[in-house]
Chain A
Amino acid sequence: MTELRLIPNPGGHLSPDEVIGRDSLVETLWDTLEQQSVVLTAERRMGKTATMDKMMSAPPGHIRFVYCDLEQVHTAAEFADLIYRKVDAYMGAGKRFKEGLHRALEKFKGASLDGVGGITLDVASTPWKVLLDIVMAELARDHQPPFVFFWDELPLMIKSIADREGDEQAMEVLDALRAARQTYDTIRMVYTGSIGLHHALGRLKRVGYANDPTNDMSTIEVPPLSPPDAQLLARGLLAGAGISAEHHYKVAAAMAEATSGIPFFIHYVAKIMREKHKRVDANTVEEIIRAVLVDSGDPWHLSHYQSRIKTYYREKDQRIVLVLLDIFAAHERPLTFNEVFGLVKAQVRTEDAEHVREVLMLLRQDHYVVQEQDGTYRFRFGIIQRWWRLHRGLEVIG
């Protein structure tokens, strides 16, 4: 077997064949997309974009797709326009599709829109909606196999539309997309982004948005790498970066464990080794991690785990969030809800268990906390727990 050799590239664009440990996830995603759309969730640095790249590098033969990075989109009209142009460019060779699309657009310009695409359109609605629907309708008409839209940074776009055009408009975009999925059964969408969609939705819900625009979609998470995959990645990076060690396996195991299997961190450790260490052992990994955790420059951007609490959590939740995370960070063992609630009450004057449960749910959605099968809770990633403990000056409790 040829030795795997990878170049450390933390933060950069990875070649799909260099994305390790995601084969079965990619297979699951494609299988799911045969049936329904997907919300792809992931903690930062988990390799969400790399996973999508890997998917798109080898799609099942019958599936077609386009990829859009939506962080450049700030209005609903821009969104529809981008979709139209992407599909138009993709279908460039499909003359029949193009002609149909243009016929539909011509028809719209003639102001007679009823019945286009098999649905009734409100003539008074904004043009972006019409354009979006025409594109979807034409795609559905022309292609029986699923057509997948990969929409990266969709929550950012929703937030941006809400900021510029108002919350109503953002809600309408989400509803229009859900309607398209309901209407055209060959259309599939993959929602993903660096911030959780639940945060964008939370804001809309607070101003009266009652729909659940993703309840027809399957939520799939990009998890950290399994220990064998994390070790495989680490070994590949050690070999590719020409890092010498007496026991590569031991060093790779230390890298995998100390980074909680998060691929970006594994790449980063390898990069530092390449830059600063001619020869390494398992202690080198610990040295690098220790230096990173106390580096005032915060090269792993771990302070984000604290700063984002102010951005995405309601003011009334923030105190509980910090207390909960302090509790989980300090405890090595998982805790029952009753234990957690008792510890919260020792610091915050509250008897509102439901509120604490609600916040706990948000923390789970944000990948801070995980619930074990026996119902207990713990900090999800050892490396983040370790940083939190250091950063907040917490003593370890057994």
Chain B
Amino acid sequence: MSNSFVSKFTPSLMTPETLEALFVQRQALADQVLDDIRHSVKSKAKHYNLLIGPRGFGKTHFVAIIHNRILADEALKDKLLMAWLREEERGVSSFLELLMRVLLALARQYPDSGLEQQIQGLYDLSRKEGERAAAQLLIKFVGKRTLLLIIENLDSIFVGLKDVGQQALRAFLQEHPICTILATSTALFSGVSLQTSVFYGFFHIHHLDELSLDEAIGLLASIAQVKGDTELASFIHTPTGRARIRAVDHLAGGNHRVYVIFSEFLTRASLDELVTPFMRMLDDLTPYYQGRMDLLSAQQQQIVELLAHAGAPRTVKEIARRSFMTPQTAANQLKDLKEKGYLIGTTPQSDKRETYYELREPLMRLCFEVKEYRGGPIRLFVDFLRLWYSKDELARRLEIAPLTCGIERACLQRALEMLETDSEDPRVKACIADMEEYRGAKDYVHCLQIGEELTAIRGSKEDWTGYGVLADATGRREEALNAFDRAISLDQGWGDAKCLKGRVLVQLRRYKEALAVLDSVGQPVPEGLELTWSYARANALLSLGREEESLCAVDQAIDVFPADGYLRALRVRVLCCLGRKDEALQSYEKAAVLFHGDEAIAEQIAAFSLLGRKDEAAALLNAHSHLLEDARWARDMRIVRGSWLLDQGKHAAALAVFDEVIRNQGEDAGLLTCRAAALLALARLDEALKACKQVVASGDKKAAKVLAGIIVSTIPVLTQPSVDAALRHRWLVGWQELAEGHEQLQVTVLLLDVATRYLDTGDDRVLLELPVELREMVRSLLGFGEE
């Protein structure tokens, strides 16, 4: 589908396929209305549906969809007639006139029915006779079929019918249940909402919602597809595209029609390309908004004009004073205007007694102001520009705007100034409100999307930092790092982003970089991030093998945050690494009281494991096995279990646990070391060697130390019958290559070399290459008695 015609004002001009393609948000409602119509056809039941929505909300689109779907339904062909009174139907002033319009609509829809001629005969009758005859003709024409009356602007029709006509219509429907009705109205009206009216409670009323941002994106995507506009299709998914859609949302208040209009120049990049269509759009929309004004009473028009010119929200008192109304009258009119969808009211937290009113659709104001456009930096265009372009874009455009284009430059300059001084960018306000909503619902993916929009709309260092935090929270750590870098590039001294970047680098186990960025944070550390900074730094130091420094950093932090359990748990780990297990135990006891519930148990298990009390850790874990499935602790708890299985000699089971953790949560040097140990125990030397190479490559010194122990522990494995000389040699050569350049591994590789050669030759003179203490160790590992 491409290059199809998309009508802004007359949906019925579009093909059924285009209408369907652009139909968003209301599929379920359309299905229900169709079910109601089918039920009305199949049984004697009759349904009456009324859609309420301001102009441009897609009411005609909706009824056109229903009309087309019914036409396409062969099963309804002989059982259902349709009469569509379109919004252009005016001057219905009596029940007779309404009957005539219905008959004429039927004659148009079914030109071969001969109805047209029968209608002609009605014009010769008196009004009273005509009404009876028209009703009889309609009843006869419908016969055993059901008539679907589609009536647009039912509110206007009811005004024309007056009480007498409405009563006659109600009586007709009651006495002759042959009609099902689908009607529309721009607002609720007394004919259906006054308890004394005869149609009170008669219709099932559906208030049509405005488009949400996501639905608007869906609509624009459909428009792009229908028009074959690939540029628009991809643009709307970019942060800039979303920011522009948000600008439209602010200007148009979720109005479907305005989105269709804006779709034409959403992608326009240059100001030249934008000005003409923008002004044309205002021109297009002016009669539409004037039409909406015509529907209001004189007092209401006065209020709308007042607010349009005010350019900012006003209280009831101010509106009353400037309109020469009593506050009571103004309040009543404002309430009505709000219900009709013209205004919105805001009550500030600081003073809940006052409500501030403003136009719901700022575009309406712009359309009124366009009449006053007389050159100069017109406010409406400046308003539009500051919503349309980001600060960066505006600055860029100002730079390249030719000096000869005075008005253009003035507009850009003013828009830029407004963006810098006006903290109330409505798009930012909307983003923040949406963000709060999503945050409340813990929907971080959407939060992230909005965070990205904020960087496009405003792009401050705070926006980039916030985006980084959200990216981190949703596991997109590389993106988070980029965002923090952007924030730092805007302010080299921006400690917040540095602290947060350091934390992410620690999470990514890029400890050296983490330490560097954390150490570059100026003192004092930004308020609120002291704990983040301290914890990340101590963690980095520990992982880099600088245990003493880490302990010092932890202790300093504990002085400031004595009640933080995580710092104390980190202290336990540091002390364990330093081999100071008694102190670690004491520290653990202090840490334990700071945790509660599952958190306390998980910390206890981790501490027992670190302190070498693996049986206690395993027993506790068995009793609280749900921790293995809890995302917060699953990784640590599974490693504890794997380590315990390894100790228990259940090597295959341990390996399975480690593999699963790596598969689900990624690898690190410690985990690879554990895996290598399990593989070694299973005599799968080639795989073990590969795992060890990964550990060494990670640069983790702590892991390298553990590896040294592993090398030694492989010596007994080499005596197993399944390990032949060739495998032993591959193993040795592999380790020799691995240990190259790693001082701490040299002695252990020497032991391995001696043991291998001894096993190859059985010549005990080889052992004499080692000093006595190492020789004894090798002999013991090879299963010999003392010398």
Contact = CB atoms under 8 A, between A and B. Distances in A.
Given A72-B168, A274-B32, A311-B196, A13 B175 contact: no
Contacts of A222: none
A67 B39 CA distance: 24
A74 B162 CA distance: 14
Nearest to A7: B39
B174 A16 contact: no
A352 interface: no
Given A69-B170, A71-B170, A311-B196, A271 B204 contact: yes
A301 B195 contact: yes
A12 B204 contact: yes
Contacts of B167: 71-72
Contact of B46 (A12, A57, A311): A12
Interface string A292-309: 000001010101100110
Contacts of B683: none
Contact of B174 (A9, A44, A69, A264): A69
B45 A69 contact: no
Given A71-B167, A301-B195, A311-B196, A9 B32 contact: no
Contact of A11 (B35, B168, B195, B201): B201
Given A7-B39, A49-B174, A301-B195, A74 B44 contact: no
Contacts of B204: 9-12, 271
Contacts of B36: 7, 9, 12
B631 interface: no
B298 interface: no
Given A11-B201, A67-B175, A307 B48 contact: no
Given A11-B204, A271-B204, A307-B195, A72 B171 contact: yes
B745 to A, nearest CB: 62
A94 B205 CA distance: 44
Contacts of A144: none
Nearest to B177: A13
Nearest to A305: B195
B29 interface: yes
A364 B205 CA distance: 32
Nearest to A50: B45
A17 B39 CA distance: 13
A12 B180 CA distance: 9
Interface in B188-215: 188, 195-196, 198, 200-205, 207
Interface in B34-49: 35-36, 39, 43-48
Contacts of A10: 204
Contacts of B171: 69-72, 153
Interface in A13-69: 13-18, 44-45, 49, 53, 57, 67-69
Interface residues of A, number: 38
B403 interface: no
Contacts of B172: 72
A366 B32 CA distance: 35
A121 B311 CA distance: 75
A11 B50 CA distance: 12
A152 B177 CA distance: 15
A303 B195 CA distance: 9
B164 interface: yes
B195 A13 contact: no
* Residue from the set A14, A17, A68 with the largest chain B CB neighbour count within 10 Å: A14
A374 interface: no
Contacts of B560: none
Interface in B204-240: 204-205, 207
A275 interface: yes
A15 B36 CA distance: 13
B28 interface: yes
A12 B45 contact: yes
Contacts of B46: 12-13
Interface in A274-318: 274-275, 297, 299, 301, 303-304, 307-308, 311
Q: Which range contains the number of B residues in contact with the other chain?
A: 20 to 34
Given A14-B45, A15-B43, A275 B28 contact: yes
A303 B194 CA distance: 11
Contacts of A264: 201
A308 B200 CA distance: 14
Interface in A129-172: 152-153
Given A68-B175, A72-B167, A307-B195, A11 B203 contact: yes
Given A74-B164, A275-B28, A311-B196, A18 B45 contact: yes
Interface in A73-126: 74, 85
Contacts of A49: 174
Most buried by A among B46, B201, B203: B201
B207 to A, nearest CB: 8
A16 B195 CA distance: 26
B170 A308 contact: no
A304 B45 CA distance: 26
A16 B44 contact: yes
Contacts of A68: 175
B201 A9 contact: no
Contacts of A271: 204
B48 A12 contact: yes
Contacts of B188: 297
A67 B171 CA distance: 11
A275 B29 contact: yes
Contact of A7 (B45, B195, B200, B201): B45
A305 B39 CA distance: 32
B198 A71 contact: yes
B714 to A, nearest CB: 59
Contacts of B48: 11-13
A247 B171 CA distance: 41
Nearest to B136: A89
A308 B195 contact: yes
Contacts of A85: 132
Contacts of A9: 36, 39, 45, 47, 204
Contacts of A53: 44
A155 B28 CA distance: 41
B43 A18 contact: yes
A7 B41 CA distance: 13
Contacts of A304: 195
Contacts of A299: 205
Nearest to B203: A11
A49 B325 CA distance: 46
Nearest to B44: A15
A385 to B, nearest CB: 20
Nearest to B45: A15
B35 A7 contact: yes
Contacts of B28: 275
B50 to A, nearest CB: 10
B47 A275 contact: no
B185 to A, nearest CB: 14
A72 B170 contact: yes
A244 to B, nearest CB: 15
B40 to A, nearest CB: 8
A79 to B, nearest CB: 13
A204 to B, nearest CB: 20
Given A12-B36, A12-B48, A71-B171, 5 more contacts: A17-B43, A72-B168, A275-B32, A301-B200, A304-B195
18 contacts: A7-B35, A7-B45, A9-B45, A12-B36, A12-B45, A12-B46, A13-B45, A15-B44, A17-B44, A18-B45, A57-B44, A69-B175, A72-B170, A74-B164, A153-B171, A264-B201, A271-B204, A308-B195
Interface of B: 28-29, 32, 35-36, 39, 43-48, 132, 164, 167-168, 170-175, 177, 188, 195-196, 198, 200-205, 207
Closest 10 CB pairs of A and B: A69-B171, A13-B46, A15-B44, A72-B171, A15-B45, A15-B43, A69-B174, A7-B39, A72-B168, A12-B47
Interface of A: 7, 9-18, 44-45, 49, 53, 57, 67-72, 74, 85, 152-153, 264, 271, 274-275, 297, 299, 301, 303-304, 307-308, 311
